[in-house]
A and B are shown apart, each in its own frame.
Chain A
């Protein structure tokens, strides 16, 4: 019974597909060809991105159907647009040329052509094998006679229906076709989606290109990581050298002087002892600040959530921190996330003119998600030299991403995502 249900559903889906694909694929194909042809006239520059985006959406819909209906997974091969795409006419030209340079675009058009022909022929069998038998029964129930009398030579399949016996044969054939249909319509639908996949999935060369792009990106983020950790080491070295180390040397000198004068000039010695004690206290403070800059103690002790809460307590602006973490991320990820939040908050305090800040930290589906929202004046952007690009670089090392929504007038929302597992 479930088999019958499944095949009826597959038949209905096939029928639905055959209707929408004729309309969709033919229209989009014609529009694409026209639009690309009109590029030379100038109009195409404006219509092509629009039409091709439509084609991609259409292809995405069919990819989704393939996954949902026949468990055929079809990956997307499209190249991403660069983030710094310009607006206006130049942007449109850039976008058009990027789209036309993407081999996936041409594969899409090829697919539209195949889809409206071979794709249609395959998919139409699924409903046809279920519906055609019904017509056989209709003929056998007597409908053959008026058609025959009216001079129509009705054929059912390969049977020329001229008598009740012929009509009964037609019903029999219909039954056979129906049985075949019930057993094969899910397979037919699947075959159609496999055909779709052969055209819509990335080819080997596309995948290689994707890998090459990923390698480029990894090289870049690794470069950034090495650069920033080298800079960090230089800063630590300088801070130690100029700060704590110098104070300890001064302390040693003072102690030496004290040793020499403790009997001759006890008052002066006492003064120097006080100075030495003060120096050791200041050396400690400097070391403590340095440690906080390298790895905040609360982060080590309590993890990301409490470290951000502790950070919020030190801010001059009311900051609400909402944490939902069932465990701790790897230490480097925690540190990156902490410093990213810390930089985002510093930016907010310095530039946003906000009087409330909300930090939301949670983990879902293998992603650590952090949102820093303020009620300030907005207008923040990820540009060269801004603190936000620093955060972007920091997160990039962990394949994390940063998104900023900051319309002029506010509010600003900085969202960060880092793929990671909690333990």
Chain B
């Protein structure tokens, strides 16, 4: 698995390279500005099995250049897995990433690299076409909706499961996190889908999109 990394802070870039290499990723390019990132992504072979890990804010504009470059690259190369890292998380940006419905996107706080295993898990999920949404984004969405009736019908346990599901975790991963059996999770998820009126799907990514679409409706 090859990685194109864009991060302007040297310490963080260096740390990420070391961490990714420790988990057997190959660093195709590690760049520090928007134009360099665009160039590195354009240089990938069409059949290259690569994932882009991108900081939202990049030079030279120091605005959301990283996010814009990643979105442009995904338009040029649909399905290119992109994991966006940010010092802060905004639903606005998460929506823009999820907008094309193709999957293979992630949006995480930079702090998530503290937990190497979880971070690498997120990278692998995004690389294989799944989704990785930061728990903060999901919590914002859930707390906004807490007053709404259908969410009110969920049990606390089901809410926990919904939160993890919306982040992009598989049933197996959720079962691991909550220390219960996978069958119990399968039961919870079908209850959640029933209470929220969502169509059931085996595909992890479609599942996330359905959850997010639900949490997001009425806007």
Enumerate chain A interface residues (CB-CB to B < 8 A): 277, 280-281, 284-285, 288, 291-292, 297-298, 300-302, 306, 309-310, 313-316, 318
Contacts and interface: CB of A to CB of B under 8 A. Distances in A.
Contact of A310 (B92, B144, B218, B219): B92
B57 interface: yes
Nearest to B218: A318
B144 A314 contact: yes
A302 B63 contact: yes
A301 B87 contact: no
Given A280-B114, A301-B64, A288 B143 contact: no
Contacts of B111: 281, 284-285
Interface in B124-160: 140, 143-144, 147
8 contacts: A288-B88, A297-B88, A298-B92, A310-B90, A313-B140, A314-B144, A316-B143, A316-B147
A315 B143 CA distance: 9
B149 to A, nearest CB: 14
Nearest to B66: A301
A316 B219 CA distance: 12
Interface residues of B, number: 18
Contacts of B87: 288, 291, 297
Contact of B92 (A284, A306, A315, A316): A306
Interface in B146-177: 147
B55 to A, nearest CB: 12
B63 A315 contact: no
Contact of B63 (A277, A284, A300, A313): A300
A318 B147 CA distance: 12
B91 interface: yes
Contacts of B147: 316
Interface string B79-92: 00000000110111
B66 to A, nearest CB: 10
Contacts of B114: 277, 280-281
Contacts of B219: 318
A207 to B, nearest CB: 45
A254 B12 CA distance: 23
B145 to A, nearest CB: 9
* Majority secondary structure of chain A interface residues (helix, strand, loop or mixed): helix
* Majority secondary structure of chain B interface residues (helix, strand, loop or mixed): loop
B6 interface: no
B56 interface: yes
6 A-B pairs with least C-beta separation: A301-B63, A301-B64, A313-B91, A310-B92, A310-B90, A297-B88
Contacts of B218: 318
A396 B147 CA distance: 37
A309 B91 CA distance: 10
B45 to A, nearest CB: 32
Given A314-B91, A315-B144, A316-B147, 7 more contacts: A297-B90, A298-B88, A302-B63, A309-B92, A313-B91, A313-B92, A313-B140
A306 B140 CA distance: 17
Nearest to B86: A297
Contacts of A318: 218-219
Nearest to B141: A313
Nearest to B65: A301
Nearest to A292: B88
Interface string B85-119: 00110111000000000000000000100100000
Contacts of B92: 298, 306, 309-310, 313
Nearest to B112: A281
B57 A314 contact: no
B199 to A, nearest CB: 25
A318 B32 CA distance: 39
A349 B118 CA distance: 36
Contacts of A297: 57, 87-88, 90
Contacts of A316: 143-144, 147
Contacts of A302: 63-64
Contact of B90 (A277, A284, A298, A300): A298
Interface string B52-81: 000011000011100000000000000000
Contacts of A300: 62-63
B97 to A, nearest CB: 14
Q: Which of A277, A302, A313, A316 has the most CB of B within 10 A?
A: A313
Nearest to B94: A313
A357 to B, nearest CB: 13
Contacts of A280: 114
Contacts of B144: 313-316
A297 B87 CA distance: 9
Nearest to A320: B219
Contacts of B57: 297, 301
